């Protein structure tokens, strides 16, 4: 292995400052990854092409800051589906509550989250994201079928319960992010038969062609009545409603649902409207696309950060039997498309995707540990889905939304591992540099306030020796089961167990 060859593989991305430090960047292009058809925008070009000056229209100067407000990469978000977390109040379990049915309300409530705030704090979380609390239509346990944008669903509790939750969270230095929807109403919203609201909806057309950008914005997603945000009445209704939630409850941020299904002009007006009154308020968008450049378009409209689906695709490719680390490297490189990659949410599973531990039929916990290791050392905002810290299982929706398994918390090995990662993050997260990789292993350093750690991940189900050049010595292992490294003249040699994780403190 020559030095020159190794330098070609060296990628150093100072993600926090968006400076590409690497000497020679060797583009890694997987033709099956990041299909251009997914971005729904014909003017966008493949990101591997060099000249992109004409591909993206640069919007005019934003009237507001999109710098994260009181949020930064030092935050950790814990994502809770309220109905599925903890049932503390039997009085809110209405007649249609059925804990045995995965598609019905199961009894979790706002009081339950309040009672579990100390548990959430023990995970190092500095913020919680709650699924929408607004009153929903029939069986809208998840919160995404809103009927009344100005009230709390009685299945979850009362407005006072919600305010108490926000206050108690703030008492523990935990910020609150509320899920917010402007794209659609519930299926049988009272607005549908209101003649005065007739012009508030788009004509009923289902989204059948996912490469048609107009249809993606104006079509009915999963048959949900699609609101027309280009109607000034609709625009002002939602800006007013959003501000009302902030002033009424003291929440700190919105997670914005279905961002790509709403015109960018609306997001510009919405962001400006919110931040005019609340300049430090945080907006975290859900832009469901593998294409980093496409996701970034919404940051340009005023949304601070977005859930990074590009990185999610890379993580699931690498930490699975595919063991495709190149796709992950590709995704890490694409973070250079973001002005503020550090404000994006990095996640490994959520309520729309299978639980990470269940993605692979075998060795799910080993893959989960590797994915968690990357998530917690990455310079962006980890978004941990409730229960992932105890390796809860679950396939596609709604199986990934099972009631939190409280009886599995005590003695959970994954929970102890998660807490170790949180501690390492507080000391060593800041700047991530890829040192070495091939299809089946990844080596990177992470430099934070307490120095640098080096992480080695063997994504292959096979014991093997990983050798790479890195001109530093190690002083100690930072994680249990980390094998000894043999270092000679700047070359490291590590005998890695199958699907192993090694973390070392590195001497500067």
Give residues in contact with Ca ion (CB under 5 A): 87, 89, 92-93, 107, 109, 183, 226, 261
Residue 149 Cβ vs Ca ion, minimum distance, rounded to whole Å? 16
Residue 202 Cβ vs Ca ion, minimum distance, rounded to whole Å? 7
Residue 103 Cβ vs Ca ion, minimum distance, rounded to whole Å? 17
Q: 117 to each of 171, 213, 333, 461, how far by Cα in Å? A: 10, 41, 36, 38
Residue 234 Cβ vs Ca ion, minimum distance, rounded to whole Å? 11
The angle subtended at Cα 40 by Cα 37 and Cα 43, nearest 5°, is: 95
Residue 353 Cβ vs Ca ion, minimum distance, rounded to whole Å? 21
Instruction: Decide whether 58 or 90 has the Cβ nearer to Ca ion.
Output: 90
Of 179, 217, 257, 324, which residue is the catalytic one? 257
| 452-474 per-residue burial string, b: 16 or more CB within 10 A, e: under 16 | bbbbbbbbbeeeeebebbbebeb
Element (H, E) at 120: helix 117-122
Instruction: Decide whether 182 or 494 has the Cβ nearer to Ca ion.
Output: 182
Helices marked H in 378-479 — which ranges?
413-428
Of 453, 295, 304, the closest CA to residue 376 belongs to 453
Strand locations in 260-385 (E): 282-285, 305-306, 345-346, 381-385
Residue 84 Cβ vs Ca ion, minimum distance, rounded to whole Å? 11
d(CA 55, CA 38) in angstroms, rounded, equals: 16
Q: Report the DSSP pairing between strands 127-130 and 175-180.
A: parallel
Catalytic status, residue 507: no
Catalytic status, residue 257: yes
Instruction: Decide whether 89 or 330 has the Cβ nearer to Ca ion.
Output: 89
Of 47, 83, 286, 469, which residue is the catalytic one? 286
Q: 317 to each of 226, 322, 330, 339, how far by Cα in Å? A: 33, 6, 11, 25
Q: What are the beta bridge partners of residue 160?
A: none
Instruction: Decide whether 113 or 311 has the Cβ nearer to Ca ion.
Output: 113
Residues contacting 271, CB < 8 A, separation 6+: 62, 64, 66, 283, 301, 302, 303
Q: What are the beta bridge partners of residue 47?
A: none
Instruction: Decide whether 215 or 383 has the Cβ nearer to Ca ion.
Output: 215
Residues serving a catalytic function are 257, 286
């Amino acid at each position: 292995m020559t030095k020159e060859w190794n330098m070609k593989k060296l990628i150093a991305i100072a993600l926090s400052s968006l400076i590409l430090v690497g000497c020679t960047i060797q583009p890694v292009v997987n033709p099956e990854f990041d299909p251009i058809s997914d971005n729904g925008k014909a003017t966008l070009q493949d990101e591997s092409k060099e000249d992109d000056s004409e591909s993206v229209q640069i919007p005019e100067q934003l009237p507001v800051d999109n710098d994260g407000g009181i949020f930064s990469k030092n935050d950790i978000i814990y994502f809770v589906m309220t109905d599925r977390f903890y049932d503390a109040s039997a009085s809110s379990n209405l007649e249609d509550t059925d804990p045995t049915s995965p598609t019905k309300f199961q009894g979790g409530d706002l009081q339950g989250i309040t009672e579990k705030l100390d548990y959430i704090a023990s995970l190092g979380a500095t913020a919680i994201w709650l699924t929408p609390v607004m009153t929903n239509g029939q069986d809208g346990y998840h919160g995404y079928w809103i009927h009344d944008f100005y009230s709390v669903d009685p299945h979850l509790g009362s407005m006072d319960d919600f305010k108490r939750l926000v206050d108690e969270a703030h008492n523990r230095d935990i910020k609150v992010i509320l899920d917010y929807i402007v794209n659609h109403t519930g299926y049988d919203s009272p607005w549908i038969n209101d003649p005065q609201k007739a012009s508030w909806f788009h004509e009923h057309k289902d989204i059948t062609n996912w490469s048609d950008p107009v249809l993606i914005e104006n079509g009915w997603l999963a048959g949900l009545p699609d609101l027309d945000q280009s109607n000034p009445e609709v625009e002002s209704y939602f800006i007013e409603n959003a501000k009302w939630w902030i002033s009424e409850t003291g929440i700190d941020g919105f997670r914005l649902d279905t961002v790509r299904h709403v015109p960018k002009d609306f997001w510009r007006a919405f962001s400006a409207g919110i931040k005019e009154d609340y300049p430090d308020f945080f907006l975290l968008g859900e832009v469901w696309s593998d294409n980093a450049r496409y996701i970034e378009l919404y940051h340009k409209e005023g949304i601070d950060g977005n859930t990074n689906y590009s990185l999610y695709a890379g993580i699931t490719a690498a930490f699975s039997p595919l063991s495709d680390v190149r796709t992950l490297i590709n995704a890490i490189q694409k973070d250079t498309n973001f002005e503020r990659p550090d404000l994006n949410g990095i996640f490994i599973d959520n309520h729309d995707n299978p639980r990470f531990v269940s993605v692979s039929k075998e060795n799910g916990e080993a893959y989960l540990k590797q994915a968690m290791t990357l998530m917690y050392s990455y310079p962006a905002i980890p978004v941990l889905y409730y229960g992932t810290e105890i390796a809860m299982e679950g396939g596609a929706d709604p199986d990934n939304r099972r009631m939190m398994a409280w009886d599995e918390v005590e003695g959970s090995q994954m929970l102890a591992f998660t807490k170790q990662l949180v501690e390492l993050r507080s000391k060593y997260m800041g700047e991530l540099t890829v040192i070495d990789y091939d299809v089946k292993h990844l080596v990177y350093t992470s430099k934070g306030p307490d120095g640098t750690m080096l992480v080695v991940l063997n994504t292959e189900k096979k014991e093997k020796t990983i050798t790479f050049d890195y001109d530093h010595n190690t002083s100690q292992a930072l994680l249990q089961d980390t094998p000894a490294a043999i270092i000679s003249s700047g070359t490291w040699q590590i005998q890695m167990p199958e699907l192993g994780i090694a973390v070392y403190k590195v001497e500067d």
